[in-house]
Amino acid sequence: MKRHFTQVAVIGAGTMGAAIAAHVANAGIPVLLLDKVPDALTPAEEARGLTLESPAVRNRIVQEGFERARQRTPPAFMSPEAERLVTLGNIADDLGKIAQADWIIEAIVEQLEPKRTLMAQIEAVRRPDSIVTSNTSGLPIASLAAGRSDDFRRHFFGTHFFNPPRYMRLLEVTPTADSDRELVQAVAHFAETMLGKKVVFCKDTPNFIGNRLQSISGAFVLDYAFTHGYTIAEVDALTGPLIGRPRTAVFRLYDLVGIDVAAQVARNLYDLIPDDEYRHLLRSPAREKVINGLLERGWLGNKSGQGFYKRSRDAEGKRVFLVLNPETFDYETPEKPHFEAVEAVQGIPDLGQRLTALFDPRWQQDRGARFVWAIISFQLTYAAARAQEIAYDLKSIDDAIRWGFNHQLGPFELWDRLGVAPTVKRMEAEGLPVAPWVQEMLEAGYTSFYRVENGQKTGYYDWESKSYRDLTPPPRHLSIAPLRTAGKVVQQNESASIYDLDDGVLLLEFHSRLNTIDAPMLQMMRHARSLLEKEGYVGLVIGNEGEHFCAGANILAVATAAQQKRFAEIEEAITALQDLLMAFRYSPKPVVVAVHNRALGGGAEIVMHASRVVAHAESYIGLVETGVGLVPAGGGVKELVRRLISPAMQVQETDPLPLAQRVLETIGQAKVGRSAAESRSLGFLGPQDRIVMQRDHLLFAAKREVLNLVEEDYVPPPPARLYAGGRDLYAALKVGIWLMQQAGYLSEHDALIGEKLAYIIAGGDLSAPQWTDERYFLDLERQAFLDLVGTEKTQARLWHMLQTGEP
Ligand code: NAI
C-alpha cells in the first residue's frame, strides 16, 4: 500500500527527537516538533520578568533542542530550507496539532511510564488513520501500547533510528502482534525512499537486533580484555579496520557514545533478559570495576573531555592524546601495540583472508591473534544463539550489524568467509557452544549461511524451511558487481570501466585510487563518449560505487610533471579534459552523472558538465583547487560564471560585482557543499538536477533519468553566452583581495592565486564588458593554471598535500 506522508510529528526534542525531525525535514516534509513545558523559570527568564505562562518559556525546552540540532556536527540539517520546515511547540498547548500528522514519532525519555502516559494522550487527539511509532531503544514495543484501543494498537509499532539519524543507515522496525502489516510496510517504504534508511524488521525483544548483539558482544570484549590484561590501546588496535570495523574501534566508540549512556543501556538490558545465558557479562566484575571507576570520577568520554582517552597538552603546550590505565586510572602516553601475528597479516586486503590467516594454528600463542579469535568466535556464537529469538532471518542480523555499526561484514557473512565447518570445530574444541540450528545446517549438507553463485549472494539459509531461500534484489537497485558477472563489460582499464546497462544505456564507472582522474580514466571517458556516437546507444550514466564519486585530478601526476618542467604535457592534459567535458555537455545523447559523497575539483567539473545530475543527498561537491595553489581548469570557473553571473547580467543595469565576488569566494575559499542541497546553493548543481535520498537507488535513478530524457526527445543545450565583465570588474575584485592581504588573511601567494582566479571570473582585462563563448573562459582557466603550476610555492603546496593529505 502506498501512503502519502505530508506531515510528521515528533514528540521529544532531545538528542534523537530533534535530529529525527531534522532528517524528516531534509526529505522536504513539514514536521511538528514538541517537548515538555518547563516546570521552573531559569534565572535569566525571571530577570526578564517572564512567567511560566509566557510562550517563550513554554517552548524553551523544544527551542533549545531544535537549536542543538542546528548546531550539531556533523550537521543534522541539510539546508536552511529544511530548518524552516520544522514547527516548534509544547505538549501542553500544541498536542492537538498532531491531528494533522500522518505519522507521529515518540522520542521522549527511555522510561516505560512516561511513554505509556504519552501514548494515552496521543490517542485522545490523533487522527484515526495516523501511524504512531516509538523510537525506544530497548523497551518492549507491545508494552508501550498496552491499554490503548484496538485501532491505536493496529497503527502502532517501533521505529528505532540510530544516532545520528541523518547519517546512520539502519532503521529497526518492530511490529507487534497487533500491528497492521500494510502500515508497517508503508513506513518502511517511506523510510527507504524518502529518508534514505535501510530497514531491518525485528522481533519485539529487548534492544531489538543491533543493540542486543552489540551490548553483549561488547561486554564480552571488555570482560576479556580486562581479565587478560590487554591495554586500551591494544584493544583498539585489534578491533578497528584490522577486523573490518570502524577506526573508533571499542574504546573510542565508548568515549563518543558516552560511558554513562553505555552503562545505562547495559543496566536496562540486564533486567530485561533474565533468560539470556550471557547476561552475566553485563555485570562482569572486571568490566564494572573500570566502568564504575570512570562514572565515579565523572570521566564520561568526549562530552566531559576525558574517558578512556584524554586530549591534553604537554609541558611545551603540544597537543597529546593520552590513554587511560585501567589499573591505576592514570592517563599515560600510549605505547604502540605490537603483535607479530597482526603485523604478518595486516597487508592482506581481503577481510576474510586476513582473519583466516590470523587464526592459523601457527599464531595460536600470539596475544593479538588470541584476542581477535576470542572476540570474533564469541560474536559469531552469540549471534547464532540469539538469532531465532530476535530476528526473522539471519540476513536481518547481518544487515543490522553492517548498517547500524558500519562493520564491513555481519556475523554470518564473516563466518562464511572463515569457513563455517572448520570454525565450528575449533569453537567446540574450546568448549564454546554453537547453536543447534547451525549444527543442523551443517549436518544437512549446507556448508555456508549464504548461497553464492558467480560471486553474488543468491540465497540464505532459512532455519524454518531448513533450506536456502532465494534472495531477490530489492526494487530500484542497480549495482555494478552483477554486471561484471553477467558479462556486461564493454571496455575497461585500470582506472575505469564501461558497462552495458541494457535499453541502450551505458555506464562509465571510475575505479582508480580515490577515483582520481588520471590518463587511463580520461582515455576511458573518451571511449565512452565515442560509443555514444554509435547507433543503438541512447545515453550514458557516469557513476560508481567507490567511497567517493571522484576526488579530483591525480595531483601526484601534476606535481611530478611540474617538477620535471613537462608543462606542455600538463597543458595537453588540461585541453583534453576541457574538450572531453565540453563534448559531454554538448552530446546529442544525454549524459547523466550519478554523484555521491565527495566530488571535488575535476570531479565537480564532471558533475557540472552533465546533461543532468542525479545526486545522492549526501553529496559534497566543491572546487578545491586553490587548496593546492591552483585554480580550476576543467571548466569549473566557466560553469559558475555561466550559472551565477551570466543569467543575472541579462537584466539591465545589474551590478556584476556581488555575483563575481560570490564566485570568487566559493572557489577561493574552496567551499564544499555539506549536502547535495548545499552544493546546489553554491551553484554546483542546477535547478533541474535531482536529489535522491536512498544511496542504493542512485544508479537506477540515473539510468531512468537517461531514458526519461530520451523519451522527451533530449536536445543538448544551445551554445552558452557568458558575461565577461573585463577590466573594471577585475580591478574591483582585486581591491577585495588586496584588502584581505593587508588584513593578514592572505599570504602573498594566496593573493596571487586570488588574482589569477579573479582574472578568469572577470573574463580577463577587456576594456569593456562583452558577451563571449565558453572557449574564451576555458582558455583563461588553462593559462592561469599553467602560470600557477610553474611557481615554486604552488609546487610546494602540491607536495605538502601529497605528503600530509591536508591542504
Ligand atoms: P533525551 O534525553 O536527549 O531527550 C528526551 C526528550 O524528551 C527531552 O527533551 C525531554 O524534555 C523530552 N520529554 C520527556 N518526557 C516528555 C514528555 N512526556 N512529553 C514530551 N517530551 C518529553 O533522550 P534521547 O537520547 O533523545 O532518547 C529519546 C528516545 O530515543 C529514548 O527512547 C531512547 O532510548 C531512544 N534512542 C536514543 C538513542 C541515542 O543514541 N541517544 C539512539 C536510539 C534511540
The answer to whether the CB of 11 is under 6 A from ligand 1 is yes
Does the beta carbon of 17 lie inside 6 Å of ligand 1? yes
Of the candidates 189, 153, 151, 170, the one whose C-alpha atom is nearest the C-alpha of residue 5 is: 189
For residue 74, say if its preceding peptide bond is cis, omega within 30 degrees of 0: yes
Residue 260 neighbours by CB distance under 10 Å? 17
Global pTM value: 0.95
| pLDDT value at residue 473 | 84
Expressed in angstroms and rounded, the spacing between residue 14 Cα and the centre of ligand 1 is 5
Cα of 159 vs centre of ligand 1, distance in Å, is: 14
Ligand 1 pocket, residue 207 CB under 6 Å: no
State the distance from the centre of ligand 1 to the C-alpha of 11, rounded, in angstroms. 9
**Which tens digits make up the pLDDT trace of 47-56?**
999 999 999 9
Per-residue confidence (pLDDT) for residue 436, from 0 to 100: 97
Cβ(10) – ligand 1 distance below 6 Å: no
Q: Does the C-beta of 13 come closer than 6 Å to ligand 1?
A: yes
Q: What spacing in Å lies between the alpha carbon of 369 and ligand 1's midpoint?
A: 40
35 pocket-lining for ligand 1 (C-beta < 6 Å) = yes
Per residue, what are the HEC states of 759-798? Answer: HHHCCCCCCCCEEECHHHHHHHHHHHHHHHHCCHHHHHHH
The pLDDT, as a whole number, for residue 194 is 97
Q: Are residues 477 and 696 in contact, defined by beta-carbon separation less than 8 angstroms? A: yes
Give the mean model confidence (pLDDT) for residues 693-721.
97
How many C-beta neighbours within 10 Å does residue 124 have? 9
Ligand 1 pocket test: pick from 61, 137, 139 the residue with the most ligand atoms within 8 Å of its Cβ: 137
Task: Indicate which residue's Cα is closest to atom 36 of ligand 1.
Answer: 137
CB 659 within 8 A of CB 651: no
Q: How far does residue 291's CA lie from ligand 1's centre (Å)?
A: 23
DSSP character at residue 330: E
Q: Quote the cell numbers at residue 258.
A: 558516552
Mean pLDDT of 577-585: 98
Q: What is the mean pLDDT of residues 251-270?
A: 92
Of 354, 350, 331, 353, nearest to 342 (Cα)?
A: 354
Stretch 77-106: mean pLDDT = 98
Query: Could you tell which of 34, 39, 88, 108 is best to mutate to test the pocket of ligand 1, judged by most ligand atoms within 8 Å of the CB?
Result: 108
The model's pLDDT over 301-356, given as tens digits with 9 standing for 90+, comes to: 998 999 999 998 888 888 889 999 999 999 999 899 999 999 999 999 999 999 99
Which pLDDT score, from 0 to 100, does residue 807 have? 84
- Overall average pLDDT of the 213-223 stretch: 96
Q: How far apart are CA 122 and CA 115, in angstroms?
A: 10
d(CA 491, CA 476): 25
User: Which ligand 1 atom sits nearest the alpha carbon of residue 114?
Assistant: 18
Residue 649 Cβ < 6 Å to ligand 1: no
**Residues 717-749 pLDDT 10s:** 999 999 999 999 999 999 999 999 999 999 999
Q: How far is the CA of 604 from the centre of ligand 1 (A)?
A: 39
The closest alpha carbon to 403, from 731, 172, 97, 640, belongs to 172
Asked if pLDDT for residue 88 goes beyond 70, the answer is yes
Mean pLDDT in residue range 476-486: 93
What residues contact residue 49 under an 8 Å CB cut-off, 6+ apart?
none
**Cα 15 to ligand 1 centroid, rounded to whole Å:** 7
- The distance from CA 545 to its chain's CA centroid, rounded to whole angstroms, is 13
Separation of CA 136 and ligand 1 centre (Å): 8
673 alpha-carbon distance from chain centroid: 14
Distance 209 CA to ligand 1 centre (A): 20
For 286-317, the DSSP string reads HHHHHHHHHHHHT--BGGGTBSSEEEEE-TTS
- Render pLDDT for 611-638 as a digit per residue (tens, 0 to 9): 999 999 999 999 999 999 999 999 999 9
Question: What percentage of residues in the chain have a pLDDT greater than 70?
Answer: 100
13 CA closest ligand 1 atom index:
9
Q: pLDDT class for 138, splitting at 50, 70, 90?
A: confident
DSSP string over 187-253: HHHHHHHTS--EEEEB-S-TTTTHHHHHHHHHHHHHHHHHHTT--HHHHHHHSSGGGT--TTTTHHH
Where do we find the cell 565540453?
Answer: 582
Cα-to-centroid distance, 315 and ligand 1 (Å): 42
Does the pLDDT value for residue 546 go beyond 60? yes
Strands lying side by side in the sheet with 539-542: 489-492, 496-500, 505-510, 539-542, 591-600, 612-622, 690-692
- Residue 443 Cα to ligand 1 midpoint, Å, equals 47
d(C-alpha 485, C-alpha 462), whole Å: 25
Is the Cβ–Cβ distance between 531 and 543 less than 8 Å?
Answer: no
Mean pLDDT score of the chain? 96
Any atom of ligand 1 within 6 Å of the Cβ of 65: yes
Nearest to 160 by CA among 144, 143, 139: 139
Mutational pocket test of ligand 1: of 10, 11, 15, the residue with most ligand atoms within 8 Å of the beta carbon: 15
Alpha helices in 636-769 (DSSP H): 636-640, 656-668, 676-681, 698-711, 727-742, 748-761
Q: Which residues contact 426 (CB under 8 A, 6 or more apart)?
A: 359, 377
Residue 1: pLDDT over 60:
no
pLDDT band at 3, cuts 50/70/90?
confident
Percent of the chain at pLDDT exceeding 90: 95
Average pLDDT over residues 60-84: 97
